[in-house]
């Protein structure tokens, strides 16, 4: 029933989001330019509402609910940014929201989700299958399930960040995008092929879980065990049908970044750009620095996808990267 989204869907999402999502800044850093011998443009979605680009996809999906769907409500499963994105979008649109979270999700994330007015239902991630559980709740209560990435409306919404980036910078030579389940990368790919067709587009996933890269190589979706990585927003086990459909067609390649490289990038953002960026949000810049891509002399876009990180954890990570004499 649902079809692969197109650039027209991204453009329609941009209109829906106008006045509701922040138009986040595109920031420069002379240090980054020097480090990479390139012109680097950071699209700062860590400064988006609720702290990540996920607000875009969630709001775009919820704003297309029918009156009956709005009345009954939305359900989502997530321990992270998707939960907060759905909760905030639902509150803004007057839609009741139910969020399924693992029992061991960080307290701060549960509190933030409840703070946006959502009902949080916890489950045991080692005992219960969250997809089954949410499907059952959706049927019992008549709720509409919005998945974190594999939905055309979510993908279209996520693509709007790249539209804004290209509007501001004009065509770029290279664009680096964090990759989990692929909502952000596939939406970005639709925008890129329409607005900057010659731009090389790379997804960046954690080294510990390169299922996306394996999937591209194999030509089919590869499933892996949940990767152990600091990049908790990219701990996905597989791409989706929709996201893979766009990624295999429109993305040039997928590269990886290690946890140590993510921490180094976090420190860079804190020290040089005065920005709090969560580990997953650092994937793009970490790859720009370390993946060996030819960037010299080019105009390089980096999507900084989010800034939600527990402050104690953040301090620990930033501190731990300081050398022994530090």
Can you give the binding site for ligand PLP, defined by CB under 6 A?
52, 54, 80-81, 148-149, 158, 178-185, 233-234, 236, 278, 280-281, 305-306
User: Around Cβ 2, how many Cβ atoms within 10 Å?
Assistant: 10
List the catalytic residue out of 79, 134, 215, 305: 79
Enter the DSSP assignment of 118.
P
- Minimum CB separation of residue 66 from ligand PLP in Å reads 25
> How far apart (Å, rounded) are the C-alpha atoms in residues 105 and 125?
10
Helices 7-17, 54-62: crossing angle, 10 deg rounding = 90
Task: Mark whether 54 is an active-site residue.
Answer: yes
- Minimum CB separation of residue 139 from ligand PLP in Å reads 25
Q: Which is nearer to ligand PLP, 7 or 149 (CB)?
A: 149
- Minimum CB separation of residue 37 from ligand PLP in Å reads 26
- The residue number whose beta carbon is nearest to ligand PLP equals 306
Q: Which residues contact 29 (CB under 8 A, 6 or more apart)?
A: 40, 42, 272, 273
Q: Which is nearer to ligand PLP, 70 or 228 (CB)?
A: 228
- Minimum CB separation of residue 137 from ligand PLP in Å reads 22
Q: Which is nearer to ligand PLP, 237 or 320 (CB)?
A: 237
Kind plus residue range of the DSSP H or E element containing 100: strand 97-102
Q: Which is nearer to ligand PLP, 179 or 289 (CB)?
A: 179
Residues noted as catalytic: 54, 79
């Amino acid at each position: 029933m649902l079809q692969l989204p197109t650039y027209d869907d991204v453009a329609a999402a941009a209109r829906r989001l106008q006045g509701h999502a922040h138009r986040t800044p595109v920031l420069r850093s002379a240090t980054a330019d020097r480090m990479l011998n390139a012109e680097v443009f950071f699209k700062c979605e860590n400064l988006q509402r609720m702290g990540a680009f996920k607000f875009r996809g969630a709001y775009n999906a919820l704003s297309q609910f029918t009156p009956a769907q709005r009345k009954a409500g939305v359900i989502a499963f997530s321990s992270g940014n998707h939960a907060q994105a759905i909760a905030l979008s639902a509150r803004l649109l007057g839609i009741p929201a139910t969020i399924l979270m693992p029992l061991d999700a960080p307290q701060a994330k549960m509190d933030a989700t409840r703070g946006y007015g959502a009902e949080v239902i916890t489950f045991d991630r080692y005992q219960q299958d969250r997809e089954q559980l949410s499907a059952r709740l959706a049927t019992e209560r008549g709720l509409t399930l919005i998945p974190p990435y594999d939905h055309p409306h979510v993908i279209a919404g996520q693509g709007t960040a790249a539209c804004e980036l290209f509007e501001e910078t004009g065509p770029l030579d290279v664009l680096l995008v964090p990759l989990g389940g692929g909502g952000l990368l596939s939406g970005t790919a639709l925008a890129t092929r329409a607005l900057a067709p010659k731009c090389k587009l790379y997804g960046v996933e954690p080294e510990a879980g390169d299922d996306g890269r394996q999937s591209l190589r194999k030509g089919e979706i590869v499933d892996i065990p949940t990767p152990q990585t600091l990049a908790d927003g990219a701990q996905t086990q597989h791409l989706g049908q929709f996201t893979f459909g766009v990624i295999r067609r429109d993305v040039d390649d997928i590269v990886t970044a290690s946890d140590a490289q993510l921490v180094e990038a976090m420190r860079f953002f804190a020290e040089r750009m005065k920005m709090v960026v969560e580990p997953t949000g650092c994937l793009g810049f970490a790859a720009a620095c370390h993946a060996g891509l030819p960037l010299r002399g080019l105009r390089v876009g980096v999507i900084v996808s989010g800034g939600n990180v527990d402050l104690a954890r953040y301090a620990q990570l930033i501190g731990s990267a300081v050398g022994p004499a530090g």
